[in-house]
Structure 1
Amino acid sequence: MIFDDRPCSLGEGPLWHPTRGELFWFDINARTLLSKAQCWTFDLSVSAAGWIDDARLLIASEIGLHRFDIASGTLSEPIVAIENYDSTTRSNDGRADPWGGFWIGTMGFNAEPAAGAIYRFFRGEVRKVVPDVTISNAICFSPDRAYAHYTDTATKQIMRAPLDPETGWPNGATQIWLDLNEADLSPDGAIIDADGNFCVALWGAGCVNTYTQDGTLLASHPVAGKHATCPAFGGADLSDLYVTSATEGIDGPLGENGMIFCLKGIGRGQKEHQVIL
């Protein structure tokens, strides 16, 4: 079903705020943050968010990470800079981790090869954790806190990085966890549910696929948007799957492309982790 019929050029970054019971998402190309009731437009490209508390979000932009006051619509100056020296790159996929940190990927505005990276912000410090990324996506965390997953969409491979149990920093060899080249699928945003299943939106395929922890395809959930971009679990019991999509690259009538979809009773999501500043 359609959750919101405002078409996004590049819908991304859905976030179910657990204390507000509210979905937020972005249209990257329009520089906007949206909720069901509101829309905020900024002077910067914005793409991903985490929740700080009931009143504030942490928002990633092309120059860094900002506090955002929901009631006033005020975006702060960056609390930390990320690639603010490079006007050719922007933020893309991002998510809070179980330790209260925030991971954010960057990429070139025109998806220039290896122009981006993935960073982690934790306790006031930013470190680059993955260099030379073309299209950063699918940043998410296993419920046992053992692994981070991510992809460079251009490779069609989902990577898995072991994490230090105390700090959440990567602490071992990163491996290819799921290779989608043979299936010719392009992974975009992803989320891991409470049972450890990996749910990934597939650009160009109009669906979200769910894979078990060993990489076996468990289910495929179609949506009306050809370019599905990112899923997020939400609703009162976190069983509904919200999926953003894009009109970018669609020729002819747009139909339901770019809209936000809600798939009822799909699974059992993890509560989104709180960002601790």
Structure 2
Amino acid sequence: MTDIQPFSGTLLCEANSILGEGPTYDETTGIVWWVNIKGRELHELHLKSGRKSVHALPFMASVIARIDPERQLLATDAGLYLRQTETGDLSFLSKVEDAPANRSNDGRVHPSGSLWLGTMGKGAESGAGAIYHIAQGRVTKLYGNITVPNAICFSPDGATAYFADSDVNHLMRVDLDPATGLPTGDATVLSDETGSDGVLDGSVCDADGLIWNARWGGWSVDVYKPDGSKVARHAIPTGQPSCPAFIGPDAARLLVTSAWQDMDDATRAKDVNAGRTFDLGIAVRGRFEPVYKL
């Protein structure tokens, strides 16, 4: 059992998101972006000044990816949208799947510029979702029968993907073609987290290949080597941390979003930080996110 390291970080944002998710840092502007999926909000935080804005959305978005200085990609329950970063104007790009009862969930851009995106039932219906590879508008279904897709991230060289179905709670790995982000073999179980504290939620992979995973229900961010061994646990002062992101001019800090989804009033009263956004307070060897290539 890996000892848990006490929280030594800070609160970055006091907003209590129903389901904070999808954080990403734009190193060209110094802005951190994340979403409140169930609240239909896009959050914008200028890291150095602390300037904060919240943008209302007409849909549930879960993933934000930079395209160029003027545009972002949003993955939503209504498909993929382009957003003008300066004005907020939205334009429809493409569908991902023909399933109105589903929404997008976890996702991340591969170093090749392609996107891995998970979908799920809006009520987390068993096996309703999938994980897709999206490259320049072409959508390829990779894995079906997924209930809650999570933990999608990639090794620094782009040759390995990690992912999970939180309902199963197995951290998976698969070899990739680094040039495309497409699998070249079968996925295998890297770490069986059945019966452990909490379930696998969002993940990010650092410059050394370590996998940083937010542990929903576990009050922690757990760290794995590429061989699946757990090497560290860092406490988070809320029960449902949802997704990490590397932030700062050197990607040397770790932001973690969280959620109060599914908490009753008594639980929320005990977990006052639920839905808030944190800086873990430790030095990390992070990486900036790749841009999505249209």
Instruction: Give the TM-score range, shorter chain.
Output: over 0.9
Question: In the alignment, what sits opposite 1:165?
Answer: 178
Match of 2:30 among 12, 16, 21: 21
The one-letter amino acid of 2:258's match is S
Residue 244 of structure 2: SS of its match in structure 1? strand
- Alpha-carbon distance in 2 for matches of 1:87, 1:166: 32
Is 1:59–2:74 an aligned residue pair? yes
Equivalent positions of 1:72-91 (< 5 A) are 72-77=87-92, 79-83=93-97, 85-91=98-104
Match of 1:2 among 3, 11, 26: 11
Question: In the alignment, what sits opposite 2:196?
Answer: 183
Equivalent positions of 1:37-48 (< 5 A) are 37-48=52-63
The one-letter amino acid of 2:89's match is T
Quote how far apart the aligned CAs of 1:207 are. Answer: 0.9
The one-letter amino acid of 2:278's match is F
The one-letter amino acid of 2:272's match is G
Is 1:267–2:280 an aligned residue pair? no
Quote how far apart the aligned CAs of 1:39 are. Answer: 1.1
- Alpha-carbon distance in 1 for matches of 2:228, 2:283: 18
Q: Could you tell me whether the CA contact under 8 Å between 2:106 and 2:149 is conserved in 1?
A: yes
- Alpha-carbon distance in 2 for matches of 1:242, 1:226: 16
Note the aligned Cα RMSD (angstroms).
1.2
Question: In the alignment, what sits opposite 1:107?
Answer: 120
Question: In the alignment, what sits opposite 2:150?
Answer: 137
Cα gap change, 1:182 to 1:250, in 2 (>3 Å)? closer
Moved more, 238-247 or 181-190: 181-190
Residue deviations 1:19-55, cap 9 Å, x none?
Answer: 1121100100011110122111122111111111122
Quote how far apart the aligned CAs of 1:183 are. Answer: 2.2
Question: In the alignment, what sits opposite 2:48?
Answer: none
Quote how far apart the aligned CAs of 1:182 are. Answer: 4.0
Is 1:237–2:250 an aligned residue pair? yes
Is 1:121–2:134 an aligned residue pair? yes
- Alpha-carbon distance in 1 for matches of 2:116, 2:198: 24
Residue deviations 1:183-238, cap 9 Å, x none?
Answer: 24300000011000010001111110011122222211111121000000111211
Question: In the alignment, what sits opposite 1:151?
Answer: 164
- Alpha-carbon distance in 2 for matches of 1:175, 1:185: 21
Q: What is the percent sequence identity of the aligned residues?
A: 37
Q: Number of paired residues?
A: 275
Equivalent positions of 1:174-253 (< 5 A) are 174-251=187-264, 252=266, 253=269
Gap runs ≥5 in structure 1: none
- Alpha-carbon distance in 2 for matches of 1:95, 1:167: 14
Q: Could you tell me whether the CA contact under 8 Å between 1:62 and 1:82 is conserved in 2?
A: no
- Alpha-carbon distance in 1 for matches of 2:150, 2:291: 20
Quote how far apart the aligned CAs of 1:7 are. Answer: 0.5
- Alpha-carbon distance in 2 for matches of 1:154, 1:266: 31
